[in-house]
Amino acid sequence: MPGPDKETDLTERIEAFLSDLKRGGSGTGPLRGSAETARETTALLRRITAQARWNSAGDLMEIIRKEGRRMTAAQPSETTVGNMIRRVLKIIREEYARSRGSSEEADQQESLHKLLTSGGLSEENFRQHFAALKANVIEAINELLTELEGTTDNISMQALEHIHSNEVIMTIGRSRTVEAFLKDARRKRKFHVIVAECAPFCQGHEMATNLSKADIETTVITDAAIFAVMSRVNKVIIGTQTVLANGGLRAVNGTHTLALAAKHHSTPLIVCAPMFKLSPQFPNEEDTFHKFVSPHEVLPFTEGEILSKVNVHCPVFDYVPPELITLFISNIGGHAPSYIYRLMSELYHPEDHEL
Amino acid sequence: MADSGETEGPGNKDVIERAKNDGRELTKEEKQRLRKEKKQQKKGKEKKDDKASQDGEKREKKPVSSASPAPQPATQPPTQKAPPAVPALVPVPASETPPPGDKPAKSKAELKAERRARQEAERASKQGKKGDVGGQQVAAGKPKAPPSELQPVVKRLPEYMQADNPEVLKKLAKKLERQQTPEYNAATKIPLRSDYGYKVSLFSHLHQYSRKAPLTQQLSIPSTVIHPAIVRLGLQYSQGIVAGSNARSVALLHAFKQVIRDYTTPPNEELSRDLVNKLKPYISFLNQCRPLSASMGNAIKYIKKEISNIPSQCKEEEAKSKLLTCIECYINEKIILAAKAIAKSSIEKISDGDVILVYGCSSLVNHILCEAFEKNRKFRVIVVDSRPRLEGREALRRLVQRGISCTYVLISAVSYILPEVSKVFLGAHALLANGYVMSRVGTSQIALVAKAFNVPVLVCCETYKFCERVQTDSFVSNELDDPDDLIVTRKGKTQLEHWQDVRLLGLLNLVYDVTPPDFVDLVITDLGMIPCTSVPVVLRVKNVDQ
């Protein structure tokens, strides 16, 4: 029977994806980039839309929400998963509204005036059945996938607007987006890059080797020397793991120090982040913000005698407040940190902020 | 001839007239040409002389009371002295403009008298020139000379900061050659250490050595120039076995004590002068192994002063024991007692329930924390560490042994841990005269983040580490450590293993950095608690004492 086979096949895929997520986040499995995760999530959601059994948009949204909750629980720090789920939910809402004939803008703007005059929330329970909804939603998800594939190129295309010749650019750790950005600028301009190695994982080393192979003059420095060399740096260009709703960043540890040093020397801090990294979370949740990995990276087991008497921390992420950031470069252009909230309202529906 | 002569420049008129008088038969064009050439040659040389001779002439004219009416330069008389075939003397002080205007025609006798007077004036001025030139320069120099109590500003740039200047390197090589006892040949000279690896262009003026190629490999055994205690010390420095400002100074002083004990004054030599000369090659050797720190520099200055102050009639044994006690005194006062004094002041700043952040391994800060713990203060410590030296682990071991509860993080996690911290204690390598703190690389970063979180930063430093240098950034004077230290193997992959083969890749392993004084809230010294900007005051007071 095609039905149950499809279903088991679907559940298998979802389980495989979940276990991949769980393994990938601990730092031991192959590190996958966020773009890859986003693509896989979207592909999986498309499959769910195609193969799961649902009658109305509301059903579909329920299914996706349920799976989404499981996926985010598997790896809470991988926010792109949650972001993609919210994007797809917004797509479903839009397609439903379009099928119903009402323009989505009316639902979109929740201005104070509307709240007062509309007289209560419109009862949208998404129960109506539309035959073409499935096809429309899948088509929209395909568009989303194409957009995802082009994000890195879109960001790299803007490189020449921001880098001039003989500049000294500083970066930290390893970001594929920044790597592509700098390589694209190298085609026309000559500049020098300083990479902070970002202990304890030392991903900066890989970044430096890749950049030097692309004919860019690179220097590797330790994290401790960031402030010492900052006076000679013209720009700081970094990638990030997540862009938070207030315009702040959740980036690899050491980025806050880098941002403070840049602010002290009035060096602009540019963040290259594609739109799928934008997350509606705020940094208030102290308990859930940080992620820790094994302290073995920091104090290895060879230091046996003192290990039991010492607390060792190895946080993975840092919070960077929006005041320290000069510019965001994303696939739809450049923005100031104060504009992020507006972009978010275009990407996600407010009711989806909590899955 | 005279008519045509008048059509030329007025300066040539007299000359031509004279030439006519002398009976020379050169054509006027030739004469003019030759004169012009020689004028240009002599112009630069004689300008100074001319000025002096002018003044000299002016001064001498009064006593000489020459009859020459016009203050002409002594252009004309030398031509009389010199044989006519040499027109070179004509434009002697040629920078003077040719006699202005048209001189009224003079009679022959008047001209002769004029010439003679001018000759005498020139002779007298030449004699007075030497004295006058000196006098003139002194006169000119007086308003420019700084007041006597200020130090001369022009300093010689130290060699270790000029690694990109080939002349300086050549000079250093020669100096190392020269610093040997005369009875041995060049095979026993102090070797010059060569740089290793690709240097980042911003730091091409500093040396970068490899730990795998210690200087002692190039020395012959037994080393006849350098005392074995110094060789051992140099090796310990270059391999990082003895590290830390206080440790290095104390080790240096102990090694010098050994040197003094084994020293015998050669015949016909004075101890005070010979011993200082003996120490010079040792210091060069140590400098080659690892650049001297500010504290070591101050210690060496002290020792040299003590040695040269030994009276010449002092017997050798007496002198040696005196020197040994001086060194003991120095170590005791400046390091051990100073640490006690600083600990006493610092304990007042540590209250119960404090969370103290320290960076790396500073012997002084460790001492303070252990003392405070003995006095039953309740606090806990967060030790911040950084690659590649990982000195914080040593500090961690010492503190944990005493029973202090500690936390350990890397420097990239500082902004995560800082909200818990109530105070930051930092050690210093040197305190510069403009208030900047020179310390292990990463200290300025910690101070920056602490400032951002409004956590007080206290620097602990003994006064013997204060130095007269000024510096505003970490580039002009620093130390570059072995770049291979940055290489690390993670998950079986060593990314930077072949960094030397990649042309465009450089590794930078800085040792020191400078912290601006606005990040530091307080400096605790053995003289008390002072703000960062009071360092030059302390230096001045110390100089006056000495």
pLDDT surpassing 60 at residue A119: no
pLDDT tens figures, B361-420: 999 999 999 999 999 999 999 999 998 989 999 999 999 999 999 999 999 999 999 999
Residue scoring higher pLDDT (B257 or B497): B257
Per residue in A47-87, pLDDT (tens digit) is 999 888 888 888 889 999 999 999 988 888 888 999 999 99
pLDDT of B194 higher than 80 = no
Distance CA B8, CA B23 (A): 20
The residues, ordered by sequence, that sit 6+ positions from B441 with a Cβ below 8 Å of its Cβ are A222, A224, A225, A228, B386, B474, B510, B511, B512, B513
Q: Are strands A317-320 and A249-252 parallel, antiparallel or unpaired?
A: antiparallel
* Whether residue B99 has pLDDT greater than 70: no
Three-state secondary structure call for residue B297: helix
Tell me which of A39 and B75 has the higher pLDDT.
A39
Query: Residue A122: which pLDDT band, with cuts at 50, 70 and 90?
Result: low
Region B245-272 average pLDDT: 90
Q: Are B466 and B431 in contact (CB under 8 A)?
A: yes
* A 316-355: CB under 8 A from B: 318-319
Whether the CB of B416 is below 8 Å from some CB of chain A: the reply is yes
Report in angstroms the alpha-carbon separations of B347 from A147, B371, B372, B405, B476: 62, 8, 6, 17, 36
Predicted local distance difference test score (pLDDT) of residue B114:
75
- Please report the pLDDT score of residue B226 as a whole number: 83
Q: What are phi and psi of B514, to 5 degrees?
A: -110, 135
Tell me which amino acid residue A68 is: G
Nearest C-alpha of chain B: how many angstroms from A352? 30
**Does the structure show a pLDDT above 70 at B89?**
no
Neighbours of B80 (CB within 10 A): 16
Nearest CA-CA partner of B291 in B466, B389, B172: B172
Q: Is B408 near chain A, with CB under 8 Å?
A: yes
Give the pLDDT score at B255: 94
Concatenating the DSSP letter of every residue in B166-208 gives HHHHHHHHHHHHHSS-TTS-GGGSPPPPPP-SPPPGGGTTS-B
Alpha-carbon separation of residue A293 from A222, A296, A339, A350 (angstroms) = 21, 8, 33, 32
**What are the phi and psi torsion angles at A270 (to 5°)?**
-110, 130
Kindly provide the ipTM of the predicted complex, given to two decimals. Answer: 0.88
CA separation for the pair B515, B448 (Å, rounded): 9
CATH: 3.40.50.300, 3.90.1200.10, 1.10.287.620, 1.20.120.420. Which one for A4-112+126-148? Answer: 1.20.120.420
Region A301-327: mean pLDDT is 90
Q: Is the pLDDT of residue B94 over 50?
A: no
Please tell me the predicted confidence (pLDDT) of residue B83.
44
The first and second tokens of residue B253, run together, are: 């002083």
Task: Collapse the DSSP code of B47 into the 3-class scheme (helix H, G, I; strand E, B; otherwise coil) and give the result.
Answer: helix
Q: Answer whether A184's CB lies under 8 Å from A158's CB.
A: no
Q: For the segment A227-268, what is each residue's pLDDT rounded down to a tens digit?
A: 999 999 999 999 999 999 999 999 999 999 999 999 999 999
Q: What is the pLDDT of residue B22?
A: 54
Separation of alpha carbons B32 and B37, rounded Å:
9
Indicate whether this model's pTM tops 0.80.
Answer: no
DSSP calls for B333-373: IIIIIHHHHHHHHHHHH--TTEEEEEES--HHHHHHHHHHH
Q: Coil, helix or strand for B48? A: helix
> Does B144 score more than 70 pLDDT?
no
Per-residue pLDDT at A10: 86
User: Shortest CA distance to A216 belongs to which of A240, A238, A195, A237?
Assistant: A195
Cis bond upstream, residue B222 (ω within 30):
yes
Beta strands in A32-184 (DSSP E): 168-172
Per-residue model confidence (pLDDT) at position A97: 86
Q: What percent of chain B has pLDDT over 70?
A: 74
* Residue B494 distance to chain A (closest CA, Å): 9
d(CA A283, CA B416): 13
Picking from A205, A206, A225, the nearest residue to B441 by CB comes out as A225
Specify the higher pLDDT residue, A40 or B67: A40
Give which of B184, B507, B462, B450 is closest to B331, Cα–Cα. Answer: B462
- Residues in A 146-205 with any Cβ partner in B closer than 8 A: 197-202, 205
* Best residue of A310, A319, A323 to probe chain B, by most B CBs closer than 10 Å: A310
Residue B159 tokens read as 């060699």
Q: Is A258 on the interface with B (CB under 8 A)?
A: no
Identify the H or E element spanning A48.
helix A34-51
Every domain range in chain A assigned CATH 1.20.120.420: 4-112+126-148
Q: How confident is the model at residue A117 (pLDDT cuts 50, 70, 90)?
A: low
| Residue B138: per-residue pLDDT | 43
Measured between CA atoms, the residue of chain A closest to residue B443 is A224
Do A325 and A271 form a contact (C-beta atoms < 8 A)?
A: yes
pLDDT at position B205 over 90:
no
> What is chain B's mean pLDDT, rounded?
78
Which CATH superfamily, name and number, covers A155-352? Translation initiation factor eif-2b; domain 2 (3.40.50.10470)
Q: Does the structure show a pLDDT above 60 at A12?
A: yes
Mean pLDDT is lowest, of B40-54, B220-234, B471-485, for B40-54
A213 interfaces chain B, CB cutoff of 8 Å? yes
Report which of B279, B275, B266, B259 is spatially closest to residue B310, judged by C-alpha positions.
Answer: B275
Q: Between residues B436 and A118, which one has the greater pLDDT?
A: B436
User: How confident is the model at residue B64, as a pLDDT?
Assistant: 44
A352: how many CB neighbours lie within 10 A of its CB?
A: 20
Sign of CA dihedral B344, B345, B349, B355: negative
Read off the pLDDT band of B225 (50, 70, 90).
confident
Give the amino acid at A340.
I
Higher pLDDT, B1 or A225: A225
Per-residue confidence band for A2, with pLDDT thresholds at 50, 70 and 90: low
CA-based nearest residue in chain A for residue B407: A311
A309 by Cβ neighbours in 10 Å (0-12 / 13-18 / 19+) ranks as middle
Question: DSSP H helical segments within B8-90, as ranges?
Answer: 10-22, 28-64, 76-81
Interface touch A220/B506, C-beta < 8 Å:
yes
Q: Yes or no: say if B273 and B305 are a contact pair by the CB < 8 Å rule.
A: no
CA A316 – CA A183 distance, rounded (Å) = 27
Q: How far apart are CA B293 and CA B244, in angstroms?
A: 10
Better pLDDT: B437 or B6: B437
Return the sign of the alpha-carbon dihedral for residues B7, B13, B18, B21. Answer: positive
Chain B CB contacts of A259 under 8 Å are none
Please say if the pLDDT value at position B77 is more than 70: no
Q: Count residue pairs from A and B with Cβ separation < 8 A.
A: 160
Query: Does residue B86 have a pLDDT over 80?
Result: no
Contact of B482 with B509, CB cutoff 8 Å: yes
Contacts of A200 in chain B (CB under 8 A): 410
Cross-chain residue pair A222–B486, CB shorter than 8 Å: yes
- Angstrom distances, CA of residue A37 to CA of A84, A149, A175, B521, B526: 9, 12, 15, 47, 59
Give the pLDDT of residue A102.
66
B112: closest CA among B61, B67, B65? Answer: B67
Mean pLDDT in residue range A195-202: 89
Q: What is the largest CA-CA distance in chain A?
A: 71
- Amino acid identity of residue A83, one-letter, is N
**pLDDT higher than threshold 60 for residue A344:** yes
Question: Do B257 and B324 touch, CB atoms closer than 8 A?
Answer: yes
Residue pair A312/A298 in contact by the 8 Å Cβ criterion: yes
Locus of tokens 């309740």 = B378
Res B84 pLDDT > 50: no
Q: Can you give the three-state secondary structure of A313-333, one letter per residue?
A: CCECEEEECHHHCCEEEECCE
- By CA distance, what is A320's nearest residue in B? B415
Alpha helices in B65-164 (DSSP H): 76-81, 108-144
Starting from the edge strand earliest in sequence, which strands make up the sheet with A249-252, in order? Answer: A242-243, A249-252, A317-320
Q: What is the pLDDT of residues B411-467, one digit of tens each?
A: 999 999 999 999 999 999 999 999 999 999 999 999 999 999 999 999 999 999 998
Task: Give B506's strand partners.
Answer: A219
Q: Which B residues in the span 438-497 are in contact with A, Cβ-Cβ below 8 Å?
A: 440-442, 444-445, 448-449, 452, 473-475, 486, 488, 490, 495-496
The per-residue pLDDT for B215 is 72
pLDDT at B351 over 90: yes
Predicted local distance difference test score (pLDDT) of residue A116: 65
Give the whole-number percent of chain B exceeding pLDDT 90: 38
pLDDT score of A169? 96
Which residue is closest to A218 within chain B, CA to CA?
Answer: B505
Residue B474 and residue A254: Cβ atoms within 8 Å?
no
Q: Residue B535 has which token pair?
A: 């360092």
Side-chain half-sphere of B398: how many Cα atoms within 13 Å?
19
How many Å apart are CA B536 and CA B249, to the nearest integer?
A: 22
* Better-predicted residue by pLDDT, B379 or B179: B379
